[in-house]
Structure 1
Amino acid sequence: MRLPVSARDVLPLPRDYFECPELGNDEEERLIQVARTSCQRLIETTYSPNSEWSTVSVKNGVRISKNVQPPLRE
């Protein structure tokens, strides 16, 4: 059997590679709420007038930035 030389030889994994249990309704709703809250916080932080951004790098025309001083949260 030939072993993979690099991750490129084995990725992407097939869709059925992991066996994932079905989520219950409560768990699904909780994860949806976590996603919504995370997105809202990202938007608030990105558009906050108190945010100061610094460019970390630019790769393939995409600017990677870092919030120098994240706004304080309650």
Structure 2
Amino acid sequence: MIKARVTVTLKNGVLDPQGKAIGGALSGLGFNGLRSVRQGKVFDIELEGSDRTAAESELKAMCDKLLANTVIEDYSIALL
């Protein structure tokens, strides 16, 4: 079994209203000195098999087809 973590974030330059709202809420709670907040999503995925190269290829296909909107989002894959 192969475990992986896929992290999806907005590309630089793409407006992030949710991140801005989170930053405002944190400031309102007294957390000062925040320069910026960007939000994203994380997927923890377990795959059958032991071929790490094939797993990474399959994970990239998952990201390109469903997990990330590659027009406005970047993703990274970490095999654990």
TM-score in terms of structure 1 length: 0.28
Q: Which has the larger radius of gyration?
A: 1
Q: Which has the higher strand share?
A: 2
Structure with more contact order per residue of length (Cα contacts < 8 Å, sep ≥ 6): 2
With structure 2 as the length reference, what TM-score do the two structures score?
Answer: 0.26
